[in-house]
């Protein structure tokens, strides 16, 4: 039996088990910390920084930072909200995110995060409009890398769950991108049932299941009526809503 | 004194203007506090006075769009980019990303007027009548051309979104849109 840890998030007392991250403990308490690259079932990698919180006044990624006794965590403050808005804006502006024509619209976590953070102000940064290829080689799966936010969820799902190496990072810095282990997706050992290409792994519309199209009507899509994170705030103890 | 509103559709589809009409009978309430100057809704071609609010639909894909947008900036106190095309280029901006092309604009025109299987064009001419506005090298969003003060996202923004934002603008308060009214599609 491991010793329990208590700490504060925005003044609310949170209990964690030893070894839990701040985000795990917050989730169990019903406090939602926004995140994109972290998803339940995969090892956190702390790369998108959307889950940045202040721990005793210093910024840290809540998905990788271990919970510790007595720490004071700031999550839902205007400073952090604006910081997260900037991160989301930059993700929109460095790729080609045309929500109007994207199959993932309505269930896209990037879009849902922008809705939740209420991003309606004019663009602060220029749109980079990169030219990125579409990989339509596979009969069942389409890769539209214009929408990739390099969260690495497909990479981790392929390695940690499927036991394969279908996806991986290529390049560094602004040139970093997700590549496939072969000359195209059809050239890899990917299976349509792999977790890496299953719905819910890719947070945006980069990995698309072909033949489904716009299968949910507007109004019934995942984030049409409830903000992203409300499942954590509503179904658990829901303290974060107070 | 009633606020003056001007609207225009540049490289857009008029969907945002249709959405503006979706405020339905509330347009009567709007006309109590505002009146329209240059807009396709009343077919006024020129500004008759300086306007308080300019609503711009669509980005810039030809030189006429740029001139119109600059004229709006000159004549409007507050310029609002309405909809995905005005904000980030929208569907027209897809031509900026024609892959692997040395001359993307030429490839785009040749596909549209010469090479596409559904095209019948016996002279193989690309339209270049002097009356046609010159097409730009790429599609620009509004904030790349002039200073934009506000934006209303959506493709198109719903009538409710436009109504709430316009109301807030006229009264000079923040729009504070609820979750259901912030949409990018």
DSSP secondary structure, A114-161, as one string: HHHTT--SPPSS--------EE--SSSEEEEGGG-----HHHHIIIII
Is residue B176 included in any domain, yes or no?
yes
Cβ–Cβ contacts within 10 Å for residue B159, how many? Answer: 17
CATH number of A84-209: 3.30.70.20
Q: If you ran DSSP here, which 8-state letter would residue B86 be given?
A: H
Q: How far is CA B136 from CA A184, B125, B145, in A?
A: 34, 18, 12
Percent of chain B at pLDDT exceeding 90: 79
Question: Which residues in chain B are closer than 8 Å to A129, comparing Cβ atoms?
Answer: 89, 93, 96-97
Output the pLDDT for position A11. Answer: 94
Please tell me what DSSP assigns to residue B127: P
Chain B residue numbers touching A225 (CB-CB < 8 A): 180
B81 in contact with chain A, both atoms CB, cutoff 8 A: yes
CB contact under 8 A, A99 and B144: no
What's the average model confidence in pLDDT over A64-91? 95
As beta bridge partners, residue A209 has: A141
Cβ of residue B148 closer than 8 Å to a chain A Cβ: yes
Looking at residue A191, what is its pLDDT?
94
Task: Please count the structural domains in chain B.
Answer: 1
Structure-token match 């179904």, residue found: A235
Contact criterion met (CB < 8 Å) for A133 and B153: no
Q: Are B144 and B89 in contact (CB under 8 A)?
A: no
- Radius of gyration from C-alpha coordinates of chain A: 18
Q: Which residue of B has its CA nearest to A100?
A: B185
Q: Is residue B124 part of a domain?
A: no
Q: Is the pLDDT of residue A145 over 70?
A: yes
At residue A236, the pLDDT reads: 53
User: Quick one: chain B helix, strand, coil %, rounded to 5?
Assistant: 40, 20, 40
Residue A239, pLDDT score:
45
Instruction: State residue A172's pLDDT score.
Output: 93
User: Are A99 and B185 within 8 A, CB to CB?
Assistant: yes
% residues pLDDT > 70 (chain B): 98
Interface test with A, best of B57, B59, B169, B184 (most A CBs within 10 A): B184
ipTM of the complex: 0.89
Res. B172: pLDDT tops 50: yes
pLDDT (tens digit per residue) in B55-111 = 999 999 999 999 999 999 999 999 999 999 999 999 999 888 776 567 878 888 898
The string of pLDDT tens digits covering residues B35-54 is: 999 999 999 999 999 999 99
Nearest to B161 by CA among B91, B51, B84: B84
Put simply, the answer to whether B177 touches A126 (Cβ < 8 Å) is: no
Q: Does position B142 have pLDDT exceeding 90, yes or no?
A: yes
Within-domain flag for B17: yes
pLDDT score for B62: 95
* B76 occurs within a structural domain: yes
Domain regions of chain A by residue span? 4-75, 84-209
Predicted pLDDT at B37: 96
Average pLDDT over residues A65-84: 96
Mean pLDDT of A216-220: 91
- Side-chain half-sphere CA neighbours of B121 within 13 A: 15
Q: For the domain made up of A4-75, give the CATH fold.
A: Ubiquitin-like (UB roll) (3.10.20)
CB contact under 8 A, B185 and A115: no
CA distance A8 to chain B (A): 28
DSSP annotation of B133 reads P
Chain A interface residues (partner B, CB cutoff 8 A): 92, 96, 98-102, 105-106, 111, 114-116, 118-123, 126-127, 129-133, 146, 218, 225, 227
Among A92, A106, A129, pick the best mutation site for testing chain B contact (most B Cβ within 10 A): A129
Helix B26-33, helix B159-171: angle, nearest 10:
20
Q: How far is CA B156 from the centre of its chain?
A: 11
User: Which residues touch B51 (CB under 8 Å, ≥6 apart)?
Assistant: B4, B5, B6, B37, B38, B75, B76, B77
Is B34's Cβ below 8 Å from some Cβ in A?
no
User: Which of these ranges, A76-80, A130-134, A220-224, has the smallest mean pLDDT?
Assistant: A130-134
Is residue B90 less than 8 Å (CB to CB) from chain A? Answer: yes
- Residue owning tokens 């001007």: B6
- pLDDT at residue B106 in the model: 86
pLDDT of residue B82: 96
CATH number reported for the structural domain that contains residue B149 in this entry:
3.40.50.700
pLDDT for the residue A2:
63
Share of chain A above pLDDT 70, in %: 95
Residue B30 falls within a domain, yes or no? Answer: yes
Q: What are A146-179's pLDDT values in tens digits?
A: 999 999 999 999 999 999 999 999 999 888 999 9
Q: Which range among A185-194, A210-219, B7-16, B17-26 shows the weakest confidence by mean pLDDT?
A: A210-219
* Residue B171 falls inside a structural domain: yes
- Tell me the C-alpha distance between A127 and B118, whole Å: 33
* Chain segment A186-213, per-residue pLDDT in tens: 999 999 999 999 999 999 999 999 998 8
Stated pTM of the model: 0.92
Compare A164 and A120 and report the one with higher pLDDT.
A164
Any idea what DSSP says for residue A23?
H
């Amino acid at each position: 039996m491991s010793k329990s840890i208590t700490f504060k998030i925005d003044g609310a007392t949170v209990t964690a088990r030893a070894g839990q991250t701040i985000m795990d403990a917050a989730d169990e308490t019903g406090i939602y910390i926004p995140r994109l690259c972290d998803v339940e079932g995969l090892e956190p990698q702390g790369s998108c920084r959307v889950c940045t919180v202040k721990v005793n006044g210093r910024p840290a990624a809540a998905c990788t930072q271990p919970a510790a006794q007595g720490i004071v965590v700031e999550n839902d403050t205007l400073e952090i909200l604006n910081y997260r808005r900037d991160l989301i804006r930059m993700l929109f502006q460095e790729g080609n995110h045309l929500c109007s024509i994207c199959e993932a619209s309505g269930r896209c976590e990037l879009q849902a995060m922008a809705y939740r953070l209420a991003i309606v102000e004019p663009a602060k940064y220029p749109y980079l409009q990169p030219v990125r290829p579409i990989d339509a080689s596979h009969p069942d799966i389409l890769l539209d890398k214009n929408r990739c936010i390099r969260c690495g969820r497909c990479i981790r799902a392929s390695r940690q769950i499927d036991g394969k190496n279908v996806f991986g990072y290529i390049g560094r810095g602004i040139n970093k991108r997700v590549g496939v282990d072969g000359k195209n997706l059809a050239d890899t050992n990917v299976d349509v049932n792999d977790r890496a290409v299953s719905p819910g792994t890719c947070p945006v519309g980069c990995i698309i299941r072909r033949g489904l199209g716009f299968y949910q009507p507007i109004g019934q899509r995942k984030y049409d009526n409830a903000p992203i994170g409300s499942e954590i705030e509503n179904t658990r103890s829901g303290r974060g809503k107070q | 004194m009633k606020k003056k509103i001007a609207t225009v559709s540049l490289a857009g589809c008029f969907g945002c203007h249709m959405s503006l009409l979706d405020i339905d009978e509330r347009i009567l309430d709007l006309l109590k506090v505002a009146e329209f100057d240059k807009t396709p809704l009343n077919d006024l071609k020129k500004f008759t006075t300086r306007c308080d609010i300019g609503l711009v639909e669509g980005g810039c894909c030809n030189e006429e769009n740029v001139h119109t947008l600059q004229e709006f900036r000159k004549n409007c106190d507050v310029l609002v980019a309405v909809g995905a095309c005005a904000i980030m280029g929208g569907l027209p901006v897809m031509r900026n990303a024609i892959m692997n092309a040395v001359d993307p604009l030429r490839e785009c025109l040749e596909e549209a007027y010469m090479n596409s299987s559904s095209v019948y064009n016996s002279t193989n001419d690309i339209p270049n009548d002097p009356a046609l506005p010159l097409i730009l090298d790429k599609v620009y969003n509004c904030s790349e051309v002039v200073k934009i003060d506000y934006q209303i996202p959506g493709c198109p923004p719903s009538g409710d979104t436009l109504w709430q934002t316009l109301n807030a603008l006229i009264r000079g308060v923040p729009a504070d849109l609820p979750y259901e009214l912030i949409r990018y599609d």
